[in-house]
Amino acid sequence: AQTVTQSQPEMSVQEAETVTLSCTYDTSESDYYLFWYKQPPSRQMILVIRQEAYKQQNATENRFSVNFQKAAKSFSLKISDSQLGDAAMYFCAYRSEDGNKLVFGAGTILRVKS
């Protein structure tokens, strides 16, 4: 079974600085999808960024980018120019190629200091 590990329970970053959240996963599949979701105190689950395993190019969405290392099974999220509104719980997630299931990591709480 696939597993997702987020080894950082909590991270802090100064406003306008850059922070990287770590995620590793375990799978025997060659094709799959990876996601980062953000959950602010409102408890909404908001999609931040997605990466298809067959794409070598790292996904980027404005201030958010990923470092996808397929061989190492690593999928980190980099947030540049951090803003107060980025403070939230961030979840890394894995979805198999057949589309069934979405496995989440335990989450990382990100605090942004002004």
Partner 1 sequence: DAGVIQSPRHEVTEMGQEVTLRCKPISGHNSLFWYRQTMMRGLELLIYFNNNVPIDDSGMPEDRFSAKMPNASFSTLKIQPSEPRDSAVYFCASSTRYSPLHFGNGTRLTVT
Q: List interacting residues with partner 1 (CB under 8 A).
A: 33, 35, 42-45, 47, 50, 91, 95, 98-107
Percent helix / strand / coil, the chain, rounded to 5: 5, 55, 45
Distance CA 45, CA 70 (A): 25
Least separation, in Å, of the C-beta of 12 and partner 1? 20
Least separation, in Å, of the C-beta of 93 and partner 1? 8
Q: How many residues does the chain have?
A: 114
Least separation, in Å, of the C-beta of 44 and partner 1? 6
Using the minimum distance from each CB to partner 1, give the nearer residue, 85 or 99: 99
